[in-house]
Structure 1
Amino acid sequence: MHNALIIDPAPGRQPFPEPMPTTRPTPSKEEIALLPEFGRLGLERITLVDSGPQAVEACAALRDHAAWGFDTESKPTFFKDQVSDGPHIVQLATLQHAWVFQLTDPACRDRVAGLLAEAAHTKAGFGLGDDTKRIVSKLRVEPAGVLELNAVFRQRGYRKDMGVKGAVAVLFNQRFIKSKKAATSNWANPRLSEAQLIYAANDAYAAARVLAALALG
């Protein structure tokens, strides 16, 4: 990894330098809508992991790579002061494949927690502050080697929150599709739908692609 901005959880330390002036233009929603579609992973390149033995295999495959795209999903909350017990899903992806871990099985949870705690592997994504807080609360582990891609773009002169759609548009001149229906679906469901798997996996996959394009992975 080259000059990557890693979130440092140590108290009293500044995780990032001061951002550069935001002078680079970012595409609008209307401009992004006109772009060709970003090529997403299909089900043949997505593995659902919901047991300890499956998690052992997935972790071994992921450890062959220095950097992963990273995201989580939680069952949405609909009422004021309602507390989420997420994350229910953790997604990790390479440039070739994505693994969607369900956290119902205790052995699977333990394997995922151990994987996220490994500082030797970069875990890159967008808007990861809430994700990491929920992981700490649920899995009792502090994710290490976490790279907030919004911060990288901010350092490079773009607006504060680029997001995956903006990043894909800027780097690939393509449109990343996110299903609102899938985003707000029940991620605690024991049986995830194909649409949920594709949504979750591709959030992590797109982050892996962006990381590689930024030459940070």
Structure 2
Amino acid sequence: MAERTARVSDVVMSRAALAEAELPLYAGLPLERVRLIVSAELAAEAQAALLAADAIGFDTESKPTFLKGEVSTGPHLVQLATDTHAYLFPIARAGDHTVLRAILESATVLKVGFGLGNDRSALKSRLGITLGKVLDLGETLRGPGHKGTVGAKVAVAHFFGQKLQKSKKTGTSNWANRNLTERQLLYAANDAHVALQLYRAWLSSEGLTG
């Protein structure tokens, strides 16, 4: 147990060094493996693939707020990923959230992501969805005795020896837009997909099988 704790804590302890390192870029999913769920048929496809998995990557995006006291109306996009594909659910266009609810509230499929506290509360308050069986890697990887959480960038550098590029401009773009750009689709898809890949890498490093 002591050895396992030390390995996980190393992720936090090496933040500064990892930030300075010259690393190859993390490729991520290509656009052809990203599904924007805008029909009942696509929702059924996503449900079948996601509920068949042991674990899926999870994240949400919301239109940013800029005014003091402005309350977010997000999430505006929910991202879920298997090992091979990402499925993006635009909240405003989905209408019926039955499929999304079935996946997110599942007690058998593990949802893996980073910094999921806000996602959990926003889904509950806006959509009445209570997340079931969730693992926040940001908390898991920080190790005992450390404050804060580990981010995906640091984790990618630690486990893969690669650099995860995250555009601030894209991250703070309007996720409530009806027509998302390719940059938005890829950004959102890989936020969810990379979490799952890091979960797999963490399991392997710990000698676990899931």
What's the secondary structure of 2:189's corresponding residue? helix
2-structure distance, mates of 1:130, 1:23: 24
Displacement of 1:39: 1.6
Q: Which runs of 5+ in 2 are unaligned?
A: none
Displacement of 1:169: 0.6
**Once the two structures are superposed, what CA deviation does each residue of 1:74-123 show, in whole Å capped at 9, x if it has no partner?**
00000111011110100011121111111123544221122101010100
Judge conservation of contact 1:121–1:145 (CA < 8 Å) in 2.
yes
How many residues matched? 197
Judge conservation of contact 1:73–1:88 (CA < 8 Å) in 2.
yes
What is the letter of the counterpart of residue 146 of structure 1? V
What is the letter of the counterpart of residue 206 of structure 1? V
2-structure distance, mates of 1:192, 1:204: 17
**What does 1:17-36 align with in structure 2 at a 5 Å threshold?**
24=10, 25-28=13-16, 30-32=19-21, 34-36=22-24
- Partner of 2:171 in structure 1? 183
What is the letter of the counterpart of residue 15 of structure 2? P
- Partner of 1:122 in structure 2? 110
What is the letter of the counterpart of residue 20 of structure 2? E
Displacement of 1:64: 1.6
1-structure distance, mates of 2:120, 2:109: 15
From the superposition, tell whether residues 42 and 67 of structure 1 become closer, same or farther in structure 2 (CA, over 3 Å). Answer: same
Report the TM-score when normalising by structure 2. 0.87
Q: Which runs of 5+ in 1 are unaligned?
A: 1-19
2-structure distance, mates of 1:198, 1:159: 31
- Partner of 1:40 in structure 2? 28
Report the TM-score when normalising by structure 1. 0.84
**Once the two structures are superposed, what CA deviation does each residue of 1:10-55 show, in whole Å capped at 9, x if it has no partner?**
xxxxxxxxxx6996322326424x1110121110111111233321
- Partner of 1:172 in structure 2? 160
**Once the two structures are superposed, what CA deviation does each residue of 1:156-190 show, in whole Å capped at 9, x if it has no partner?**
77663110001001111110010111101100000
What's the secondary structure of 1:105's corresponding residue? helix
Judge conservation of contact 2:77–2:91 (CA < 8 Å) in 1.
yes
From the superposition, tell whether residues 145 and 23 of structure 1 become closer, same or farther in structure 2 (CA, over 3 Å). Answer: closer
From the superposition, tell whether residues 23 and 67 of structure 1 become closer, same or farther in structure 2 (CA, over 3 Å). Answer: closer
**TM-align CA RMSD:** 2.0
- Partner of 1:4 in structure 2? none
Structure ranking higher in helix proportion: 2
From the superposition, tell whether residues 59 and 133 of structure 1 become closer, same or farther in structure 2 (CA, over 3 Å). Answer: same
From the superposition, tell whether residues 156 and 201 of structure 1 become closer, same or farther in structure 2 (CA, over 3 Å). Answer: farther
Displacement of 1:125: 0.5
- Partner of 2:52 in structure 1? 64
2-structure distance, mates of 1:79, 1:103: 23
